[in-house]
Amino acid sequence: MALQLRRGTNAERGAITPALGELVYVTDYSTAGVAPLFIGDGVTVGGNPVGASALSFTGIAGNVTPDQDSTRDLGTTGDRWANAFIDDITVTNTVTGNVTGDLNGNVTGNVTGNVTGTVTGSTVGHVVGSVFGDDSTQIIDGDNKNISNINNINFNTGPGTGLNEVYQINVDSASNQVRIGHSQDDEFGRLTFTRVKAVGTIPVNESVGRVLWTKTENNADTNFGVITCSQNQMVLSVDDGVHGFSKVLRVHKSGKVDVNGDLNVEPAAEFSVNGIALLTPQTGAPASPTVGMIAVADGSTWDPASKGGTPNPYPAFYDGTAWVAMA
């Protein structure tokens, strides 16, 4: 003989008050999100669920497995578990809420919200939001895309580069200077500009790196100074705004120096000036002269050629013994 319990929908259950000890089976418990079985106490409308809130499961030897994959829930949005004490947990979809304590292992997917504490290991993917220091000072402003309040930035070149060195960049607020230093004692800092061309070669006269000076006035930027370097030469120029290099000082890799010369041609002499050179007349012989030195005598206070008369400056060169007039 079969034993049948009082049964009905969850709405029907909510309209009755089961007697003390009376069992009620909810036929639509799955879609209603409630326990399938309730027991009456003669007072509570609808009875009390026979389940997590009414029963205590201890000493379970085995696995607790749902009858369908990715279908059943543990608790509801309105009936939550207080605490879970679990050695290991694997989540394949979304974790919503706060995680307090250590989270060890890999997290694949998105972490939305605040992360308080230390993140040890590698972060692969996007970090969306702001980052704050231990003193709650904002370091990375995710909204405005700014990085600020940083004392030092350390770069480790690491193995595989031929170097294993740490460089440090910091800002001296007293002098408003950005400083690049080396972590090792008595070691100099380095700043390298690299131009990469995947296919072919870079022409010898084309720039491989530039240092550019700009000014901002009335919300407009203007370039006014540049140092550029190619494989053949280094050039310093007061820029015309379009990198025209119309007036330049150039040091060629041969050691030759010129002013306002053709950047595509090696200077003809060790020192070449495409323009006018000015030598200020001297009132006395240069100290410690060497052969070939050129100077302009004022012809009065300093008159090595004894021309005499009113001041009449003239060029002279040192022949190793005396200053000889060139004109």
- Residue 109 has what pLDDT? 67
Note whether 177 and 170 are within 8 A (CB). Answer: no
For the chain, how big is the Rg over CA atoms in Å? 42
Sheet of 314-318, strand order: 294-297, 314-318, 323-325
Whole-angstrom distance, CA of residue 283 vs CA of residue 297: 7
Question: What's the whole-model pTM score?
Answer: 0.51
Note whether 149 and 137 are within 8 A (CB). Answer: yes
- Residue 52 has what pLDDT? 47
Let me know the angle formed at the C-alpha of 248 by 206 and 279, rounded to the nearest 5 degrees.
150
Residue of 267, 248, 264, 256 lying closest to 205 (CA atoms): 264
- Residue 89 has what pLDDT? 74
* Fold exhibited by the domain 1-57+68-83: Seminal Fluid Protein  PDC-109 (Domain B) (2.10.10)
Scan for tokens 């590698």, then name that residue: 122
DSSP H or E run through 295: strand 294-297
The rounded mean pLDDT for the chain is 80
Report the Cα 311 to chain-centroid distance in Å: 65
H helices of the chain, in order, are: 10-13, 29-32
H helices of 62-186, in order, are: none
SS3 10: helix
- Residue 213 has what pLDDT? 84
Report the Cα 279 to chain-centroid distance in Å: 50
Ranges of the chain with pLDDT below 50: 52-55, 159-163
SS3 7: strand
Domain ranges of the chain: 1-57+68-83, 127-192, 198-275, 278-327
Tokens of 132: 């704050």
Whole-angstrom distance, CA of residue 166 vs CA of residue 158: 8
Tokens of 93: 């979809």
Tokens of 124: 């692969």
- Residue 62 has what pLDDT? 65
- Residue 58 has what pLDDT? 61
DSSP bridge partners of 216: 221
H helices of 130-240, in order, are: none
- Residue 320 has what pLDDT? 93
